[in-house]
Structure 1
């Protein structure tokens, strides 16, 4: 028994709308004889005529019903094809991304400022959170792309190095360290009141660990940290990009002399999950903008 095919329904609907074989054949890009043969096959399969006359300008009751059903099916089929092709070409889809706040406030706006038209039909969800939360969300498959520091915890992740972010000392303009012409040595901070934070706590240098062990003030919100530094309560240590993303007006950033005091930020996704074309395109745009904003940063595979 012959099976009904979508192109048979499309051919019939085109003839019904055109009212004649010649115009329908032009629309379909086929010969009138080929279209006529297709209609005969369809009518033979159904066992009843679809048109009242050979002129094809008036439908039978069956023809009217088939046209109604065919147009509904063709619309659904065409929408499905469009969605599949759009997904494959990265013009449709849904991308969930979580990033550390410093990247959310610097690189991500540049990405969408430059490439927003590439994602006009893509649903993009952006969240900013700390690195440990991002790794947790990745492990639960709740996000497609993560931008975070990973330390030693990269099992099961595909990772590309995004940028190196050097730590520096942040102080008020009238603080004695503000007038220093040279990068700050750890020894210069021994007598300072440190406002510790979760980012600076990750610096592994023994001098930094000793400094943090003595710190009596600790804050995790950048707004609170900057407010206390602005009030000259103490100094803090933060990566340069975090300072750029925060409300750091009228504060001074002084680089550390310790060249190893850097955090490494990575572009992450689960190694066992297939990434959508839209997410892959977004990854490439993020890498491109990060390379421009952080000269010398080179993407490399670590998985």
Structure 2
């Protein structure tokens, strides 16, 4: 039987099968929504079956569509893996991988891994969604990102979370601040200082509030900001001190900012890789994910 559809049609069908939405699927394959609809219609006509039931609100796979989606995804992944496995072809392979991550992870973890990935696959575009912890969770859960780097996700039933690094919250202050000369500071000692923190909508704030719930004389914040980098700017301007994740502090010796350990209690957060449970990554995304896994193993070996 002659085949009257191509790989682009299969890719379009797999995209809508995974997202359940024509608009999002069209964006994933980088074509307009009318052109996307024509591809799906062409595929259904070529096969002589209905693959999707769609109305104005939602798209659902038919029984035949579910089985065809599974086989199509497997076929495309196998082809992609074969092409990436051929050294001469891999260097010219096109594609896109989307990674969602919190800003501190984007700054600290991404550059070294992406540089290595780009050297092996220079034509595969890496799209970075740098967002809040809650937005990263949503992007991975909805399939808008292949995987993510986040300090939240371990409690989500539909997400797999693999720890890369555990880091403490530290006190950020100016070098000319009285606390800057201390090796460590207890949380209760911050009560007499102008204290700043991130807003309640932040995942970092949730971690801090839970950890400090039983602490007497905990510091009361006088300034709130949406982002940790904004807090550091306020600290640098001399408006007060702030509790921030250690990764958020500038690397090396900063001319203005100092970092002091916080204790009683020591509050930590775990940075890790997150991906949807039960969803296989494309070969291109899998190669990048494996590079982060390699980084994770190296860090665990060094800390052992």
Query: Scaled by the length of structure 1, what TM-score is found?
Result: 0.63
Counterparts of residues 59-208 of structure 1 (less than 5 Å): 85-87=82-84, 91=90, 92=93, 93-150=95-152, 153-180=155-182, 182-197=183-198, 198=202, 199-203=204-208, 204-206=211-213
Counterpart CA distance in 2 for 1:259 and 1:291 is 28
Shift in Å, 1:116: 2.1
Q: State how many pairs are aligned.
A: 218
The answer for unaligned runs of 5 or more in structure 2 is 3-77
Q: 2:225 aligns with which of 219, 224, 230?
A: 219
Q: Residue 143 of structure 1: SS of its match in structure 2?
A: coil
Shift in Å, 1:190: 1.8
Residues 247 and 86 of structure 1: CA distance in aligned 2, closer, same or farther (over 3 Å) = farther
Shift in Å, 1:251: 0.1
More displaced stretch, 196-205 vs 133-142: 196-205
Contact 1:107 1:293 in 2 (8 A): no
Shift in Å, 1:158: 1.8
Shift in Å, 1:288: 2.9
More displaced stretch, 238-247 vs 147-156: 238-247
User: For each residue in 1:57-92, what CA deviation from the matched residue of structure 2 results, as whole angstroms up to 9, or x when unmatched?
Assistant: xxxxxxxxxxxxxxxxxxxxxxxx986622566944
Residues 132 and 82 of structure 1: CA distance in aligned 2, closer, same or farther (over 3 Å) = closer
Contact 2:100 2:140 in 1 (8 A): no
Q: Residue 250 of structure 2: SS of its match in structure 1?
A: helix
More displaced stretch, 236-245 vs 145-154: 145-154
Counterpart CA distance in 1 for 2:206 and 2:231 is 14
Shift in Å, 1:123: 2.5
1:240 aligns with: 246
More displaced stretch, 216-225 vs 283-292: 283-292
Shift in Å, 1:176: 0.4
2:235 aligns with: 229
Q: Residue 116 of structure 1: SS of its match in structure 2?
A: helix
Q: Residue 206 of structure 1: SS of its match in structure 2?
A: coil
Higher strand residue share: 2
1:277 aligns with: 283
Shift in Å, 1:119: 2.0
Residues 83 and 154 of structure 1: CA distance in aligned 2, closer, same or farther (over 3 Å) = closer
Query: Scaled by the length of structure 2, what TM-score is found?
Result: 0.62
Residues 194 and 137 of structure 1: CA distance in aligned 2, closer, same or farther (over 3 Å) = same
Shift in Å, 1:227: 1.9
Q: Which of these two proteins has the greater Rg computed from alpha carbons?
A: 1
Shift in Å, 1:277: 1.9
Counterpart CA distance in 1 for 2:165 and 2:301 is 9
User: For each residue in 1:112-171, what CA deviation from the matched residue of structure 2 results, as whole angstroms up to 9, or x when unmatched?
Assistant: 233421222322211211110011112211110111122664111122111112110000
Q: CA RMSD in A?
A: 3.2
